Amino acid sequence: MKRFFLLFVLLLFLSIVGLSQSKIPTLSGDLIIFHAGSLSVPMKEVANEFKKLYPNVKILLESAGSVASARKITDLNRPCDILASSDYSVIDNMLIPKYADWNIKFVSNELSIVFHESSRYASQINGKNWYDLLLKKDVAFSRADPNSDPCGYRTVLTLKLAEKYYKKPGLEKTITDKDQNYMRPKEVDLVAMLESGSIDYIFLYRSVAIQHKLKFIRLPDEINLRDMANASLYATASTEINGKEPGKKEVIKGEPMIYGVTMLRDAPNKTAAIVFLEFLLSRERGMKIMEKNGQPSVIPMETGNYEKLPKELRLFAKPGKP
């Protein structure tokens, strides 16, 4: 009788374990993620942690400027499960509604002037004299290409705002006309030039400076595109980039830096993509890694496509305007 009872308890335990395990999604296959260059370090960390839970998923991370990443989908028809952009509007303007149905805003950032301890005038530069030092003949600086990367057009917007803030008419053109040969398609390409000593300064996201342990100057909130309270001020600056069609231009207005993430409508591995997004957007998992790397969470924010979000992801957004 005792033996029968023990056998019954064992079988009951195994059935409960089997039932609970059946509720855990079995994930496998490739998971293709295109992401902004400024997300390279935290995305790799998130992917490594995710792999500990789901070792059968092969995560393929591909870094590029956000605009260039979107064009891999729209122009090159590259397969992709998830796109994470350093500007949420890239998803809204280039992918929705043809390639994606929704957009979750998840982290923020700010524009800084990044440098190395061996950069010329490193001991002198500050939030008040940076533009004078960058214009010196013996100083070389770089920035991202506005037509490939949001960091590039955000640099131009910051310079336009700086003209007003510092009362320096023509400052934006004077700076953008200088050192154009050092401009690159995405912001992370610039870090290698800085670390090699080819250039002295970069217009770059503060998070990238933190991730690469580089020095940086924090710009005033009136121009750094960080502060939600300054949204109306940022909107007074605008610039043009190449549009979706050859020969067309698109006007970009200044606004606080908010990153966006989406799953593509034709994602090859939707099951793994949704579970990864849950992991990425979770406060105690992915967002903890993002914040450690200098990219604070803005979850939840309003999205205009809330009703189209998978039910598993709705807690990470709020219904409202896009």
pLDDT 10s digits, 121-130: 999 999 999 9
| Phi/psi-derived region of residue 228, left when phi > 0, alpha when psi is between -120 and 50, beta in every other case | alpha
Report domain 111-253's class: alpha beta
Specify the fold of 25-108+257-319: D-Maltodextrin-Binding Protein; domain 2 (3.40.190)
pLDDT band at 65 (very low <50, low <70, confident <90, very high): confident
Mean pLDDT of 274-294: 97
In a 3-state reduction of DSSP, which class is residue 115?
strand
Q: Which residue is listed with tokens 């509720």?
A: 23
pLDDT for the residue 26: 82
> Among 20-24, 94-98, 183-187, 192-196, whose mean pLDDT is lowest?
20-24
Q: Average pLDDT of the chain?
A: 91
pLDDT band at 189 (very low <50, low <70, confident <90, very high): confident
120 pLDDT above the threshold of 60? yes
Task: Report the predicted TM-score, pTM, of the whole model to 2 decimal places.
Answer: 0.84
**Sequence ranges of the domains in the chain:** 25-108+257-319, 111-253
Domains 25-108+257-319 and 111-253 share a fold: yes
Which residues are registered as beta bridge partners of 257?
none
Which residues are registered as beta bridge partners of 246?
none
Rg (CA), the chain: 23
> Among 22-26, 49-53, 249-253, 313-317, whose mean pLDDT is lowest?
22-26
Q: Which residue has the higher pLDDT, 14 or 166?
A: 166
User: Using one digit for the tens of pLDDT, what is the confidence trace for 8-55?
Assistant: 544 555 454 444 444 455 899 999 999 999 999 999 999 999 999 999
